[in-house]
């Protein structure tokens, strides 16, 4: 955001990304987000307050996320993944148009992300593989631990970390090293998902 003259009047909106319209059950960083920004600009709005965009926690709350640095996987735009050929155009269920049915939307969207990961592994261009690798290295101060946490958490059905096996809960080096080996592909998947949040959707 550019610095505004505090003496100049300005208007804006408060709207979470998930409240945007879109074809995939919940608002995301797809084409509708760009159209909304264009509308804000043409209507003279100068501020857009987003609320947290981190992964949601219990009760679908963005204020109880598992990371202060990661973006919500549910906001990944599917259009760039389709355009790249990593994800086939999905058959979208008849999600409610006026609200988000998290119970049905989130499992479906995770399925799409996993299909895109499979497509990426099978057919991504060298340049895209290198871009993902370089981005992952540039973000490793938070991304490595986040991806490992999610990779361990996923097969445990999201159980709280203090209920995990003692070696993992205590971050014992041997247990952590074993988890990195055992869950290598799942770790790579969660890194891929975060990278996808940086992919610009076609407008």
In angstroms, the CA 180 to CA 160 distance is 19
Confidence category of residue 6, pLDDT binned at 50, 70, 90: low
Q: What is the DSSP letter of 154?
A: G
CB–CB of 196/116 below 8 Å? yes
CB–CB of 134/198 below 8 Å? no
Question: Once rounded to an integer, what is the mean pLDDT over residues 43-57?
Answer: 89
Q: What is the pTM of this model?
A: 0.91
Q: What is the DSSP letter of 57?
A: B
Please give the domain boundaries of the chain with CATH numbers for all domains: 12-196 (3.20.20.80)
Checking if the pLDDT of 3 tops 90, the result is: no
Chain-centroid distance, C-alpha 82: 16
In angstroms, the CA 140 to CA 177 distance is 16
- Longest CA span, the chain: 59
Residue 47 has phi, psi (to 5 degrees) of: -130, 140
CB–CB of 1/168 below 8 Å? no
- pLDDT tens readout for residues 129-187: 999 999 999 999 999 999 999 999 988 878 889 999 999 999 999 999 999 999 999 99
Q: What is the DSSP letter of 61?
A: B
CB–CB of 193/76 below 8 Å? yes
Residue 12: Cβ-neighbour burial (10 angstroms; 0-12, 13-18, 19+): exposed
**Per-chain mean pLDDT for the chain:** 92
Residue 1: per-residue pLDDT: 45
In angstroms, the CA 94 to CA 89 distance is 15
Angle value at C-alpha 76, between 15 and 86, nearest 5 degrees: 155
- pLDDT tens readout for residues 57-97: 878 888 888 899 999 999 999 999 999 999 999 999 999 98
């Amino acid at each position: 955001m550019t610095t505004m003259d505090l003496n100049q009047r300005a208007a804006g909106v408060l709207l979470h990304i998930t409240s945007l319209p879109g074809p995939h059950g919940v608002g995301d960083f797809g084409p509708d987000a760009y159209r909304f920004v264009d509308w804000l600009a043409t209507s003279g709005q100068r501020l857009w307050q987003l609320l947290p965009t981190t992964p949601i926690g219990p009760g679908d709350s963005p204020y109880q996320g598992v990371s202060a640095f990661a973006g919500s996987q549910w906001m990944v735009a599917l259009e760039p993944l389709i355009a790249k050929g990593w994800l086939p155009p999905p058959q979208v269920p008849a999600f409610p148009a006026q609200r988000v049915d998290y119970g049905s939307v989130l499992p479906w969207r995770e399925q799409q992300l996993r299909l895109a990961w499979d497509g990426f592994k099978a057919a991504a261009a060298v340049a895209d593989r290198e871009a993902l690798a370089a981005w992952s290295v540039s973000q490793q101060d938070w991304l490595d631990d986040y991806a490992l946490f999610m990779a361990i958490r996923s097969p445990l059905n999201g159980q709280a970390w203090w209920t995990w096996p003692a070696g993992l809960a205590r971050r014992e080096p041997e247990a952590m090293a074993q988890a990195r080996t055992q869950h290598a592909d799942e770790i790579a998947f969660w890194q891929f998902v975060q990278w996808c949040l940086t992919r610009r959707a076609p407008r």
